[in-house]
Chains A and B, each alone.
Chain A
Amino acid sequence: MDLRYTEQEQTFRAELRAWLADVLTSVAPEPHRDDWRGRRAWDTGWQRMLFDAGYAGINWPKEYGGRGATPTEHLIFLEETERMRAPYVGMNFVGLLHAGPTLVVEASPEQKAHHLPAILKGEHVWCQGFSEPNAGSDLASLQCRAIRDGDDYVITGQKIWTSFAHIADYCEMLVRTDTEVPKHRGITWLILPMNSKGMDIRPLRTMEGSTEFCEVFFDEVRVPVANRVGDENDGWRVAMVTLSFERGTAFVSEMLQSMELVRDLVDLAKKVTRHQATAWEDTGLRRDIAHLSGELDALWSLTKRNISQAQRTGFVGVGGNVFKLAYSELRQRLGELSLRLLDRASLSLEDVHELPTGKHIHGRIHALSIGIAAGTSQVQRNIVAERTLGMPKDQ
Chain B
Amino acid sequence: MDFWRTEDQEALQDGIRTFCQGRFPIESLQLIEATGGRLDRTAWKDLAGMGVFSLRHDGFSITDSVLVFEELGRALIPGPLTATYLAATHLASILRGTDSGERIVGLAQIAEPVTMIEHLLDLDSLLILGPDSIALVDPNSVPTQIVSRPLDPLTPVHVALATSGGEIIATGDVVRQWCREGAVMTAAMQVGASFAAIDLAVEYAKGREQFGRPIGAFQAVKHMAADMLVKAEVARAATYAAAVNLDGNGDDALDRVVSVAKMLAGDSALFCGKTGIQIHGGMGFTWEVNAQRYWKRAVVLDTHYGNSEMHADALADSM
Contacts and interface: CB of A to CB of B under 8 A. Distances in A.
A175 interface: no
A294 B202 contact: no
Contacts, number: 171
A1 B225 contact: no
B158 interface: no
A304 B312 contact: no
A194 to B, nearest CB: 38
B2 A311 contact: yes
B11 interface: no
A387 to B, nearest CB: 10
Chain B interface helix/strand/loop/mixed: helix
A280 to B, nearest CB: 8
Interface string A6-29: 100100000000000000000000
Nearest to A319: B233
Interface stretch (B118-126, B248-256, B282-290): B248-256
Band of interface residues on B: 35 or more
B225 to A, nearest CB: 5
Contacts of B63: 1
Nearest to A381: B226
A382 B226 CA distance: 8
Interface in B1-22: 1-6, 9
Interface string A272-311: 0000000000010011011101110111011011011101
B2 A1 contact: yes
Q: Which of B230, B244, B260 has the most CB of A within 10 A?
A: B230
6 contacts: A1-B63, A9-B1, A72-B1, A294-B312, A308-B1, A391-B221
Interface of A: 1-6, 9, 72, 266, 283, 286-287, 289-291, 293-295, 297-299, 301-302, 304-305, 307-309, 311-312, 318-319, 322, 325-326, 378, 380-382, 384-386, 388-395
Interface of B: 1-6, 9, 63, 198, 202, 205-206, 213-214, 216-219, 221-223, 225-227, 229-230, 233-235, 237-238, 240-241, 243-245, 249-252, 256-257, 259-261, 263-264, 309, 311-313, 315-316, 319
Given A301-B238, A309-B4, A385-B226, 14 more contacts: A2-B249, A3-B245, A4-B250, A286-B316, A289-B316, A289-B319, A294-B263, A294-B264, A294-B315, A302-B237, A318-B233, A381-B227, A385-B216, A391-B205
